[in-house]
Structure 1
Amino acid sequence: MSAPPLSVVIPARDEAQALPLLLEDLAPLRAMGAELILVDGGSHDGTPQLAEAGVDRVIHSEPGRARQMNAGARVASGRYLWFLHADTRVPATSWRRLLDVLAVQPAWGRFDVHLSGNGPSLRLIGSMISLRSRLTGVASGDQGIFISRDLFVELGGYADMPLMEDLELCRRLKRLAPPRCLRPPLVTSSRRWEQRGIWRTVWLMWRLRLSYYFGASPERLAQRYYGGPRS
């Protein structure tokens, strides 16, 4: 193929433990012609070096998911962009489903999500995230947002904001077209919930979302989420 139909953009920062698992999941997709781009935001753990053999390009960017994903999109050659977090796992059934859907040229879409940890609480949270997304037409970055490259460029990409960049993009996208909501789900790391406490994290995320919808600045929300400014 002279130009791969799909470019997978992976923003990462200090993901040496999780990233190899994702690249292993995506290796068959890459062998079929998809382009894999790792956008490093200043890792100190060797993430870029670990990625070199498993991706087509490693580029460097200022830290921040929005900035990193925009940087990856600028160098991508695929007709579609698929944004995946580095701690995501992608079953083969999921990327095959994506290829089937891209054949009918949707504007954009996302996947349902399953949290990696054990226990009924995490299973319930994953199900609720997926249901909320289906009802609202808004997805989080953990859900593997995919979008036509032409539409992404037309919209100006992700807004340069330290948090909620995924919600902001989806709010613009759903004015143009509803998302394609795909299964089987992607598997996203549950480490955020396990480290901070499951229901404490749920409560924090809902407060941040409500604050954002009522006009709080993403900079202030990022300080609350990360516990202070990120270096």
Structure 2
Amino acid sequence: MPQLSVIIPVRNEAQVLPRLLDDLSALRAAGAELIVVDGGSSDGTCELALGRVDQLLRSAPGRALQMNAGAAVARGEYLWFVHADTRVSAESLSRLQSVLGERPLWGRFDVRLSGGGLAFRVIGWMINLRSRLTGIASGDQGIFVTRQGFDALGGYASIPLMEDLQLCRRLRVQARPRCLRPPLSTSSRRWEEKGIWRTVVLMWCLRLAYYCGVSPEKLARQYRRGSLL
């Protein structure tokens, strides 16, 4: 039985998935299990994963549904959920393997946005600070959790947005997360496409609305539109 199962939800990620699989190849060679869960790609994503992962699954679209599908077949003692547009350094992998030996319930990484410029460094710093203060992580921070802890909570809630926050809030009741460095690199494409500060404001407002009880279904529609209106 592997110590670690890496679960990667994808949908039309042919441009970025091969780079992540390159990053994880040494981890797989060391015995980790790689699981890619496709939510209906039409750009050849699945073909690019063939032969490079241990399991390639098809699922209904939706990040929570896909991650739960991957977790259901995973054999590892720990589950590590990684977005396809993430880059992982050898130093980060080494740190993760070291920490898992200490048997924490769960944890996450700091992140660094891929875009150049001071604004992206500030945004990354804000994300990491917020996470350290609140004990809540977002999905692009590479959340890892024990198989037993994940199953005890019933996995991710089947909601279209905020599934990562909801899981972290439940885990935080039992333990604060381990916060790891060096950071993962996560794509800044959404900020670049929609506008840096417009996206920052939108994400903070969506979080606030979620904490105030607005339904994840409504928030998901606003997230896709890139507007609260």
Question: TM-score under structure 1 normalisation?
Answer: 0.97
Query: 2:223 — aligned with what?
Result: 225
User: In structure 2, what residue type is equivalent to 1:131?
Assistant: L
Task: Structure 2 unaligned segments of length 5 or more: list them.
Answer: none
Aligned length: 226
Query: 2:93 — aligned with what?
Result: 95
Query: 1:211 — aligned with what?
Result: 209
3-state SS, counterpart of residue 54 of structure 1: coil
Query: 1:141 — aligned with what?
Result: 139
**Identical counterparts, % of pairs:** 68
Q: How far apart in 2 are the matches of 1:20 and 1:131?
A: 30
User: In structure 1, what residue type is equivalent to 2:146?
Assistant: S
Query: 1:117 — aligned with what?
Result: 115
- What does 1:21-40 correspond to in 2, within 5 Å? 21-40=19-38
Superposed CA offset, 1:26-76 (max 9, x none): 000000000000000000001111011211110010000000000000000
Of 140, 164, 188 in structure 2, the residue corresponding to residue 190 of structure 1 is: 188
- What does 1:173-184 correspond to in 2, within 5 Å? 173-184=171-182
User: In structure 2, what residue type is equivalent to 1:35?
Assistant: E
3-state SS, counterpart of residue 60 of structure 2: coil
3-state SS, counterpart of residue 120 of structure 2: helix
Q: How far apart in 2 are the matches of 1:52 and 1:131?
A: 38
User: In structure 2, what residue type is equivalent to 1:85?
Assistant: H
User: In structure 1, what residue type is equivalent to 2:199?
Assistant: T
Query: 1:155 — aligned with what?
Result: 153
Q: How far apart in 2 are the matches of 1:27 and 1:127?
A: 29
2:71 paired with 1:69: no
Task: Structure 1 unaligned segments of length 5 or more: list them.
Answer: none
User: In structure 2, what residue type is equivalent to 1:144?
Assistant: G
User: In structure 2, what residue type is equivalent to 1:27?
Assistant: S
Q: How far apart in 2 are the matches of 1:186 and 1:105?
A: 21
User: In structure 1, what residue type is equivalent to 2:103?
Assistant: Q
Q: How far apart in 1 are the matches of 2:205 and 2:125?
A: 19
3-state SS, counterpart of residue 110 of structure 1: strand
Query: 2:49 — aligned with what?
Result: 51
3-state SS, counterpart of residue 168 of structure 1: helix
Q: How far apart in 2 are the matches of 1:65 and 1:98?
A: 23
Question: TM-score under structure 2 normalisation?
Answer: 0.98
3-state SS, counterpart of residue 69 of structure 2: helix
In the TM superposition, residue 227 of structure 1 has moved relative to its aligned partner by 1.8
Of 82, 96, 106 in structure 2, the residue corresponding to residue 84 of structure 1 is: 82
